[in-house]
Amino acid sequence: MEIKDKIEDLRKQIEYHSNRYYNEDNPEISDYEFDMMMQELKKLEQEYPEYASVNSPTKKVGGSAKREAGVLVRHNVPMLSLQDVFSKEDVIRFVEEMKEQLDDPEFVVEYKIDGLSMSLRYENGELKLAETRGDGINFGEDVTENAKVIKDVKKKLKDTPEYLEIRGEVYMKNADFDAVNAKQELLGKKTFANPRNCAAGTLRQLDTAVTKERKLSMFIFNIQQTRGITFETHTQGYEYLKKQGIPVIDDYKVCKTADEVWDAIEAIGENRGKLAYDIDGAVVKINRYQDREILGATSKVPRWAVAYKYPPEEKETVLKEIELSVGRTGRITPTAVFEPVRLCGTSVSRATLHNQDFIDDLDIGIGDTIVVYKSGEIIPKIKEVRKEKRPSDWVKFQIPDVCPVCGEKTVRDRDTADIKCTNANCPAQLERHIINFVGRDAMDIKGFGTVYIEELVRKGYISSVADIYDLKDHRKTLIEEGIIGKEKNTDKLLDAIEKSKENDAYKLLTGFGIPNVGKAAARTIMKKMQNIDTLMQASMEELQEVDDIGEVSADCIRRFFADEKNRQQVERLKQAGLNMECKESAGEDQRFAGLTFVITGTLPNMDRKEAAAMIENFGGKVTGSVSKKTNYLLAGENAGSKLTKAQTLGISVISEDELLQMIQEK
Buried b (16+ CB within 10 A) or exposed e, 486-518: eeebbbebbebbeebeebbbbbbbbbbbbeebe
3-class secondary-structure state, position 110: strand
34 is in an annotated binding site: yes
In the chain, what are the helix, strand and coil shares in percent, each to the nearest 5? 40, 20, 35
169 is in an annotated binding site: yes
Containing 282, the helix (H) or strand (E) segment is strand 279-286
82 is in an annotated binding site: yes
454 is in an annotated binding site: no
Nearest Cα to 329, choosing from 409, 421, 415, 402?
421
> C-alpha angle with apex 241: 236 to 243, nearest 5 degrees?
100
Return the C-alpha torsion angle 495, 498, 503, 508, nearest 10. 120
426 is in an annotated binding site: yes
Query: Could you say which DSSP state residue 190 is in?
Result: P
Nearest Cα to 510, choosing from 526, 522, 528, 527?
522
Distance CA 623, CA 634 (A): 11
Q: Is 223 exposed, middle or buried (0-12, 13-18, 19+ CB in 10 A)?
A: buried
66 is in an annotated binding site: no
421 is in an annotated binding site: yes
Distance CA 25, CA 278 (A): 16
Query: In sequence order, which residues have a C-beta less than 8 Å from that of residue 139 and are 6 or more positions away?
Result: 65, 72, 73, 74, 75
Q: 112 an active-site residue?
A: yes
Order of all β-strands in the sheet with 632-635: 621-623, 596-600, 632-635, 652-654
35 is in an annotated binding site: yes
285 is in an annotated binding site: yes
Distance CA 309, CA 112 (A): 9
- Tell me the residue type at 114: D
Cβ distance 465 to 511 under 8 Å? Answer: yes
- Tell me the residue type at 395: V
Considering 60, 112, 642, 645, which one is annotated as catalytic?
Answer: 112
Cβ distance 277 to 250 under 8 Å? Answer: no
Return the number of other C-beta atoms located less than 10 Å from residue 128's C-beta.
Answer: 12
Cβ distance 366 to 319 under 8 Å? Answer: yes
End-to-end Cα spacing for the chain:
41
255 is in an annotated binding site: no
133 is in an annotated binding site: yes
Distance CA 167, CA 217 (A): 13
Nearest Cα to 278, choosing from 171, 152, 203?
171
Containing 581, the helix (H) or strand (E) segment is none
Distance CA 280, CA 263 (A): 17
Q: What secondary structure does DSSP assign to 211-272, as a single string?
A: HHHTT-EEEEEEEEEEES---SBHHHHHHHHHHTT--B----EEESSHHHHHHHHHHHHHHG
Nearest Cα to 512, choosing from 561, 550, 547, 452?
561
Query: In sequence order, which residues have a C-beta less than 8 Å from that of residue 342 and are 6 or more positions away?
Result: 174, 273, 315, 348
- Tell me the residue type at 396: K
471 is in an annotated binding site: no
Active site positions, annotated: 112
Residues tagged in the binding site annotation? 31-35, 81-82, 110, 133, 169, 285, 309, 403, 406, 421, 426
Residues tagged in the binding site annotation for NAD(+)? 31-35, 81-82, 110, 133, 169, 285, 309
Residues tagged in the binding site annotation for Zn(2+)? 403, 406, 421, 426
